[in-house]
Copies of this chain bind each other. A is one copy, B any other.
Amino acid sequence: MTLLDGKKVSKEIRDNLKEEIKSKHLKIKLAIIWVGNNEASSIYVNNKIKKCENAGIATELYHLDDTVEEEEVLRLIKKLNNDESVTGILVQSPLPKTIDEKKCFDLIAENKDVDGFSSISMGNLCLGNPHNVACTPKGIIRLLEAYNIDLEGLNVCLINRSNIVGKPLFHLLIAKNATVVMCHSKTENLAKITKEADVIISAVGKPHFITEDMVKKGAIVVDVGISRVDGKVIGDVDFDNVSKKASFITPVPGGVGPMTIAMVLDNLVNLAKEKKNG
């Protein structure tokens, strides 16, 4: 069994990006809009800021009260779209229910859409012209690539159909010539499907959702689940038992999570280079 060490791989990626930013004299600034005080968001936002700053990327945090009007958030996005000094804009999800998330994502200029959550970025990815690709899906692909895992012809069971993980990841996997089955809460006989899969990617958010008996010997297991139990972060996969059968497996934490943040930086560097090259 080989551990898919996202902590290590993401560190290498961030170090390379830092080097590239320095050598190419890229001036990069990320604007983050964070509404409310969701605890998980707080961790993500702080982590993104820290990793950006470490790599030589400036950040600007707009931390708004959760009573803020949608109109004000939209105004802020427009202002940042027009601000030449801003390379990328990131609206931290989830937003309060009073604010239309889709409207916010779609308003972000295509050349500043770090997260790739806008309809046009999603459409481009889906139709085979990826530009801004959502960070978690992109990070998963990069992690598998780091271990030279060739997805062509592999049967992938992807358990998630969200707009920010499952759907973009589906299209990345198809582009890699994998055969992909998308499973979700209405899927029947899930274990029958996982048991036949060469690759299982689970983003459910239920601790120990993927048990040993659901996994084929030699399978590649990617755990995108995040649950907090007694202050500890744990994934979807019963790691101790599943890791005995898997050929490759991500730990939680230290698997997909750090890859996501590295891809925020990667997307920012891409946007900065595009801007520089006009």
Tell me how many chains of this kind the complex includes: 2
What's the minimum C-beta distance from A128 to chain B, rounded to whole angstroms?
A: 7
Contact pick for A119, options B102, B124, B187, CB 8 Å: B124
The interface centre, meaning the residue of A121, A126, A180, A188 with most chain B CB atoms within 10 A of its CB, is: A126
Residue A57 at the chain B interface, CB threshold 8 Å: no
Residue A123 at the chain B interface, CB threshold 8 Å: yes
Number of A residues near B (Cβ < 8 Å) is 33
A184 to B153, CA, bound (A): 9
Contact pick for A126, options B167, B180, B184, CB 8 Å: B167
Asked if B129 contacts A118 (CB within 8 A), the reply is no
Q: Give the nearest-CB partner of A161 in chain B.
A: B174
Q: Given the known A-B contacts A119-B129, A122-B123, are A182 and B188 also in contact in the complex, defined by CB atoms under 8 Å?
A: no
Residue A58 at the chain B interface, CB threshold 8 Å: no
Asked if B186 contacts A152 (CB within 8 A), the reply is yes
Asked if B179 contacts A182 (CB within 8 A), the reply is yes
Q: Which of A111-136 contact B (CB under 8 A)?
A: 118-124, 126-129
